[in-house]
Each structure stands twice: as structure tokens, then as C-alpha cells.
Amino acid sequence: MKNTLLIVLMTVSTVVVSAQERVYIGGILLDHLSGKPVQAAHVLNLTDSLATISSPEGAFKIPAKLGDSIIFTSIGFHQKALIVTNEELLADFVTVKMARRDYELGEVEVNPLGTKEQFRKKFMELEVDDGTIDVVGLKKPSKLPREIPITEDKNEIKKAKYILNPASFLYGNFSKDAKARQELHRLEKQKERNRYNYQKFNEEVVERTTGYTGERLYDFMEFCNFSETQIYRFTDYELTVAILNKQRSFERLDQQSSKP
């Protein structure tokens, strides 16, 4: 009986010591649909700032210890996050399945006139009748061109710029509905931005990163409290790191609240 107890205590001590020390975790990355290996994927241990790349067979090996955060990234796949537990530390190797990712391209607007500067350049290169060419059915101007007086008045100078620059004059004539077009453009950009943010930060992404589900998932998303600007500016990598950091704080608060 004493020998059995001693063996159990030695086994537990070995597990605790190994959990506190850094060991190599080996595994293989697989496409969750085809089961084929994912090669050249980046494997990052965020806790200790270590990294490696998966082999052509999808294999990887990286130093880690209990509680470390490991991220798997590859072009064409969603990021995968893993918090090291005793299960990974004691396993001979781990299998990580990565979900494929579709990339949505934004709409492309084709303008035959090009940009304002391109339109101005084309317009200024046009050959214009200066009165020296006889056109059948049309009379030449009977009056000499009006001279523009020299002035220092800012309003007059502004008017003169539109007269001397035909391209700006044409664009200026369409300024009546410019504000409406700008507002519509702003609303479309905001709608596109909201759609982009939701693709980056949604229930599926957070569940895949943290493992939370149900009410706990929604409580955590509310706890994250990321602003629209933060989500928009975050890269996928930065957002994953931010979610994992929030998860640590969330778990810590849970532990504190559960204490008597």
C-alpha cells in the first residue's frame, strides 16, 4: 500500500514539474476538409515569443509550457489558437485541424473619365477652336475675348480660377448634388466597414479562438468591448492576440469572483 502511494506521488510530482518546465510539443497541421497537411504555416508561441514553420508534411515542433498561448496561421486558412494544457504536454503529438478561409474582394467602380486630375489633363489636351478656323454654318466671334482685370479680391480670384480652368469649371457645375453623393458614399463606406468588422470579429471567430459557447461566449464578447475603430485597424494576428489577452483577464475575474 505504501509503495503504491509512493508511486502515485512520484507520478504526480513528475507531471507538475514537467508542466512548469518548457518541453517540445510536436504535431501535425491538417486541412479540416481534405485532411491534407498544411505546409509553411506559421506556429507562434505568444507567451515566450517563439516561432517555427510547419514542414511540407504539415509537421511542427515548438517549445511550450503549461498555459502558453500558441497560434497557427497560414494563407487561405483561419487562424487557430491553442492554450497549452497537460493533455498537450503529455501527448506524443497533437493534431491541429485548420478551417479554410474565403477572401471577399471589394466592389470595383470603373469611371471612364478617370480621376479628376486625369480628366483635367485629357480636357486640356483637346484641340479647341480659337477663331482662326472657318467652320461651315458658324460665324466667327464678333467680339474680342474679354480681358480679366487684375485684382487681389479672393472671391474674384476664385471665380477667375474656374474661368481659366475649364476642367474645374465643369466639376464645379456638378457641385449641386456633390453633398448628396458624398453622404451616399459615406454611408456605403460605413456599411462596408461594418460588414468587414463583423467578418473579423463574430461569434464563430471568438468561439474558435477561445472555445467559449452559449451565454459565456456572449458575456465574453461584451467583456472584450473592442471599438469599431480597433477592430477595423487590427490585423487578424493582432485581433487574435487581443482576444487571448482579454480571455486571460476574463478567466482571472472568474477565479476571483468564485473565491469565497
| Domain layout of the chain by residue ranges | 23-103, 174-260
Strand partners, 42: 53, 73
CATH architecture of residue range(s) 23-103:
Sandwich (2.60)
pTM > 0.75: no
Task: With CA atoms as reference, report the closest residue to 72 among 252, 246, 245, 244.
Answer: 244
C-alpha cell at 107: 466592389
- Pick from 13-22, 41-50, 144-153, 167-176 the range whose average pLDDT is largest: 41-50
Are 38 and 58 in contact by the 8 Å Cβ rule? The answer is: yes
Q: 163 pLDDT exceeds 60?
A: no
Average pLDDT over residues 222-239: 88
